[in-house]
Amino acid sequence: MKPAARRVVLPTRASIAVLALLGVVASLVLSLGAPLAIVAPAGVGLLLALLAVAAADLLFSLRLWTRGGLRVERRLPAAFAIGATTELEIAIVNPGPRAWRLQVFDELDPVFDFEGLPRRLTVAAQSRASLRFHVTARQRGVVRLGLTQLLWRSRAGLFDVRERLGEERSLRVYPNFAALARYAWLSGDRRLAQIGIKNYVQRGQGTDFRQLAEYRRGDPLRHLDAKASLRLRRPVVREYQDERDQCVMFMLDCGRRMRADEQSAGIGENSHFDDALDALMLLAYVALTEGDEVGAMTFGCDQAGRRDFAPRKGMATLNALMNKMHDLQPGGHHSDYLAAAEALSRRLRRRSLVIILTNFRDEDSPELQPALRLLRRRHLVLLASLRETALGRIAAQPIAAADDAVTVASAHLLSQARHDAFARVVDYDKLSIDVEPRALAATLVNRYHQVKRAGLL
CATH 3.40.50.410 is the classification of domain 178-186+188-200+243-454: yes
Q: Do domains 71-173 and 178-186+188-200+243-454 have the same CATH topology?
A: no
Q: What is the model's pLDDT at position 269?
A: 59
- 10-17: long-range contacts (C-beta < 8 A, 24 or more apart)? 10/159, 10/160, 10/161, 10/162, 11/158, 11/159, 11/160, 12/153, 12/157, 12/158, 12/159, 12/160, 14/157, 14/158, 15/54, 15/158, 15/159
Contact of 435 with 382, CB cutoff 8 Å: no
pLDDT at 456 over 90: no
pLDDT at 62 over 80: yes
**What are the pLDDT digits (tens) for 68-90?**
889 999 999 988 888 888 999 99
In single-letter form, the type of residue at position 148 comes to: T
Which residues lie closer than 8 Å to 161 by C-beta, 6 or more apart?
7, 8, 9, 10, 61, 62, 65, 151, 152, 153, 154
Q: What is the model's pLDDT at position 108?
A: 92
Indicate the helix (H) or strand (E) that contains 104.
strand 100-106
| Domain boundary assignment for the chain | 14-67, 71-173, 178-186+188-200+243-454, 207-241
Overall average pLDDT of the 263-268 stretch: 52
CATH code of the domain made up of 71-173? 2.60.40.10
| Angle formed at CA 16 by CA 15 and CA 21, multiple of 5 degrees | 100
**What are the pLDDT digits (tens) for 1-13?**
455 668 899 899 8
pTM of the predicted structure, to 2 decimals: 0.72
- In the chain, the percentage of residues whose pLDDT exceeds 90 is 32
202: confidence class by pLDDT, cuts 50, 70, 90: very low
Which of the two residues, 325 and 267, has the higher pLDDT score? 325
In single-letter form, the type of residue at position 96 comes to: G
421: confidence class by pLDDT, cuts 50, 70, 90: confident
Chain centroid to Cα 76, Å, comes to 16
pLDDT at 189 over 80: no
Grouping H, G, I as helix, E, B as strand and the rest as coil, residue 140 is coil
Terminal-to-terminal C-alpha distance of the chain: 55
Overall average pLDDT of the 279-306 stretch: 88
